[in-house]
Amino acid sequence: MGQLVHSLPEGEQVWGVTLLADEIYLLRWKERDQVEVYDVITYRLQRRLTVPGARVISDMTSCEHNRCVYIGNSYVDCVHRLDVQGAVTQWAVNDSSRGLSVNAAHNVLVTCDVVGKIKEFSSHGDLLRELTLPDDVIRPWHAIQTRSGQFIVCHGGVDDPVRRVCMISADGCHIVHSHGGQRGSDTDQYDGPLHLAVDDNEFVFVADSDNRRVTLLSPTLEYVRQVVSRDQLKGKPRSLYLDTRQRLLYVAGNELGKGEWRGGHVAVFSV
């Protein structure tokens, strides 16, 4: 089980967390100062950044190679690119977008939930390819590409009967392995698999939102153990970031109270 190391201050809803250049970037859902930047050692707030037009945000990821952060905007279906100097640009996705990740080629993968696609873009927004996922991968939330070229995808929304984590072939056509099925809370079930992280050995961390836990799967998607339990989390996990060098897992989540999300926070676990 992961050990809690630190918790960042609570505030507005949190929709993403990532690391870049020894700083923690935290994405909150508000009109201004959406990005909070913390020191990775002291966890002290360094500055706040505003991304113009980022009204309804969906996810955040980063790229050390290109020294920038990417933010998904599901209101106008675009991606914002924020570099370490603070310059902001954006490009259109042209489909409803959810999860973001960066692959080994330093390109951005955008998971499009409604159409069931993964779109790959260059760092400056050139569309490189589109992959249509198998028909039974309904409402994909997040995708990560492994070094072998395959994709780990979590899928299944509130009204969907199947909620799983799948390994998809490099061409996007076939399910190679899967874990999950009908909605539930057993070790082989999920109730809202929203976000993923993959370590250097290709073990998979899954944010299981409505079960309020983080599950660890083997490289072939077999259950290993629960990494973070309900008792260790305050609210529902929404987003993950794994610092593979320090073996620290950042878990971003929110509390639901009186019909609205609030109490956004990030907990850091040693794994």
12-62 pLDDT, tens digit each: 899 999 999 999 999 998 888 899 999 999 999 999 999 988 878 899 999
Q: Please give the pLDDT value at position 47.
A: 94
**246-271, pLDDT tens digit by residue?**
999 999 999 876 666 667 999 999 99
Q: Please give the pLDDT value at position 33.
A: 87
Name the percent of the chain lying above pLDDT 90: 83
**23 alpha carbon, distance to own chain's centre:** 18
Q: Delineate the domains of the chain, giving CATH numbers in brackets.
A: 3-270 (2.120.10.30)
Burial class (CB in 10 A: 0-12, 13-18, 19+), 198: buried
Cα→Cα distances 61→23, 26, 100, 164, 181, Å = 13, 10, 6, 22, 28
Backbone angles phi, psi at 255, to 5 degrees: -100, 145
**144-192, pLDDT tens digit by residue?**
999 999 999 999 988 888 999 999 999 999 999 999 999 999 999 999 9
